[in-house]
Amino acid sequence: MITRRRFIQSNMLGIALPLAGSTTIAAGGSSSETAAPKEKLQAERDYWNDWPQYLTVQMNKARARRLNELGALRSESDVRARIDRVRSTVWKLVGGQFDKTPLNPRITGAIDHGAYRIEKIIFESHPQVFVTANLYVPNGRKGPFPAVLAPLGHTANGKAYRNYAYVYQTLARKGYAVLAFDPFGQGERYQYLDPRTKEPLYGPTGEHSQAGRPMLLFGSTFAQYRAWDGVRALDYLLSRPEVDPEKIGLTGQSGGGTMTMYLCALEPRIKVAVEVDGNSENLAGPSYAPPGAVADAEQNLVFSLPEGVDRGDLLLAFAPKPLLMIYTPIDRGATYSPTYIEGTKEVFKEVQSAYKLMGAAEKAELFATSLPHDYDFFSRRAAYRWFNRWLGQENWGTEEEEYDEPAPRALNCTSTGQVLTSLGGRTVVQLNADRLQRLTPANPLGSTLEEVKAFRQRAISELPRLLALPSEKSPLESKTVSAHTRKGVRIEEVVFQSEPTIRVTGWILKPDQGAGPFPTILYASERGKYDTPEETGEFVRLARRGFLVCSVDLRGLGFSIPRLPAAGPVFYNGDKMQEDYAWASFSLGKPVVGQRVWDCLRSLEYLKSRSDVARDRIYGLGDHGAAIALLMAGVLNTSLHSSMLDSSIATYRSLVESDAYSLQLPWFLFGILRHFDLPDLVGTLAPSPCWLLNSTDATGEILPESNLAAIFHDSTAAYKNNGASEGLHLLVCSDHLKQKMFDKWLESS
């Protein structure tokens, strides 16, 4: 049926891990000789609880701040002031309004059903960005008609989905005009087609996130495109002479319900709204359990909680106009979060309070259907009743005639059933790339030594803001949990506090003989530290050569991969947990990469607190996404004598410009490309040596050295201007030669 539901059903999990207790680790040293009993150590090692607890604390703080603001609303003028602030803030959060360009609408066909007709419409929401839509118009009646705008839920066939089309048919029979339009990634607007078969590569939810993640890098969100399509669809609807501009309704279900919520806040021309099964629970909601009520790209309000805005404000901003909220208690935990019912009721109470202050209590209602997630029979009848009451005539009734089953592809507006194969135009990737070209500063690193120094100061100033680093440091409270000696190598299990509730756990490998100080390698891996003490491994060999190796798990990785929630939804699992934690962190204004950069910075502080570390010879080694965190930590802290970044993506820009990419969302940094890119940050490390090994393109494929020379041209110039022409190394090698590369790096530095 609905793609979201198919996705849920195909990812059923077993019972989630229960919540284990957390133990605070005290400061001071410990070794295997003085270690605590085994039972206590196991409690101390519950690192999988740290990130969930951290996120819960942050969410509850944000929740308390917002609830205090809502509690301060005492009058209609207070509510109107909040509505004005919410509208402007939400536009800012999603990325802002675009300039309105010609719609260039055209009618490509029509179907006459007697009581109503369906016109097939194509218009342009942006130049050469084609939107396919069906306009349902009553026949045999005199207009102008009340009209309903219909954003869609996550259905693969878009506007042709049966239960949505049933709503539109029935409303048209009753006397309403209805405009239903395909979003990006649905119906006739799939953006990622298999080049051979021309079939979609992802479902709707997948397409939305695939397009939306890279938008974060230039300070925008996929909700911006979705909302703008709604604004332009409304522009078209209002251009029709059959439509009464003073009687405009709005309804959508599921993801379309969430877009109904956005348009309630952003589009004042809407007069009546029916929101059905949308993500109608606050991100910082009641009984919060990480990652909470996050969803695909457009449904998450990025950086909203520092602004005191949550999803409930989208609907509150519609006051005092008639609003019906519909939800289903049947799908508890299967669609959004385990607290969906509780959260939806809370949002309605917030809305109801605002309506009461405005003297319009009767204009806000909450309706619970008794069927699963869909625009089902009972939801449809409730919607007809609401629209009749406030837009049409109550005697139009809530009855439905039999569904007019369209022939396959009959509702298509294009000849092939896909905009890209029949009309071409700009894809969402091209749209993003074009916008990036306008937003990106030219050569921010500069070319002269003075320009590079000035850029470094800007980067040092700007990065902490982008990363949302804490303003204060908590005590490290470091501890050696266990220590052993094996064949000339001392192996210590260490832990220290990065910030309250977040522990960084690590392995220390060093020579068993001698007190040091030893040249030291800080190693951060996307895979975690688990294999570091492997008996025949690279790091044991380096310890025998006289190095101290500190391998750490950045938060959410390795031993600190977060536990599953105690209850649903069933699709919390694996990589999706990492993505969901990233969306939750973005809503808090605390990007995960920033949290992990902080862990790197605190790891450096920990190392400098040890007497066996040579503070002037600390090497940084990072791989894959963790190399990004280590690079940024190196820009902000000059403790790194030399860096090797292994298998890291070369540029963030490539993610925006590519149809496919492999970097996970936790490594994305909101708005960074408005200021600089990764090669610019590499240039700021000069003259400290930096070795880039097997840098990759967006898909994770290793780039040839000739490509790297062009990508890092300005970085190379920065090293040359700092008198370190040999300081930046751009290398490509096979896995079996990496050991030699590591040796060469350490020997040359």
The predicted-structure confidence for 544-600, as pLDDT tens digits, reads as follows 999 999 999 999 999 999 988 876 556 566 668 899 999 999 999 999 999 999 999
Q: What is the pLDDT of residue 556?
A: 96
Residues 195/201/206/209 CA torsion (nearest 10 deg): -10
What single string gives the DSSP state of each residue in 438-455?
HHSPSSTT-SSHHHHHHH
76-437: in CATH 3.40.50.1820: yes
The DSSP letter of residue 114 is: S
644 forms beta bridges with 621, 691
Q: What is the pLDDT of residue 335?
A: 73
Distance between first and last Cα of the chain: 60
Q: Distance between CA atoms of 619 and 748, rounded to whole angstroms?
A: 12
Q: What is the pLDDT of residue 1?
A: 35
Q: Distance between CA atoms of 124 and 423, rounded to whole angstroms?
A: 12
Q: Distance between CA atoms of 342 and 349, rounded to whole angstroms?
A: 11
For the chain, the structural domain boundaries read 76-437, 440-748
% pLDDT > 70, the chain:
93
Query: What confidence category does residue 332 fall into, taking pLDDT thresholds of 50, 70 and 90?
Result: low
Q: What is the pLDDT of residue 576?
A: 82
Q: Do the domains 440-748 and 76-437 match in fold?
A: yes
Does the reported pTM lie above 0.85?
yes
Alpha helices (H) along 95-181: 162-174
Q: Does residue 75 surpass a pLDDT of 50?
A: yes
Q: What is the pLDDT of residue 337?
A: 84
Q: Does residue 603 surpass a pLDDT of 90?
A: yes
Q: Distance between CA atoms of 656 and 217, rounded to whole angstroms?
A: 8
Q: CA separation (Å) from 457 to 45, 451, 452, 602, 604?
A: 40, 10, 9, 21, 21
Return the structure tokens found at 165: 């089309």
Q: Distance between CA atoms of 217 and 439, rounded to whole angstroms?
A: 11
Per the document, the length of the chain is 749
**Region 397-421 average pLDDT:** 97
Q: Distance between CA atoms of 531 and 511, rounded to whole angstroms?
A: 18
Q: Residue 227's closest CA among 284, 288, 297?
A: 297
Instruction: Kindly state which CATH superfamily the domain 440-748 is placed in.
Output: Alpha/Beta hydrolase fold, catalytic domain (3.40.50.1820)
219 contact partners, CB below 8 Å, separation of at least 6: 95, 439, 670, 671, 673, 674
Q: What is the pLDDT of residue 2?
A: 39
Residue 106: HSE in the Cβ half-sphere, 13 Å Cα cutoff:
7
Residue 715: HSE in the Cβ half-sphere, 13 Å Cα cutoff:
26
Residue 31, amino acid: S
Q: What is the pLDDT of residue 613?
A: 98
Q: In a 3-state reduction of DSSP, which class is residue 749?
A: coil
Q: What is the pLDDT of residue 21?
A: 32
Lowest mean pLDDT among 86-95, 331-340, 388-397: 331-340
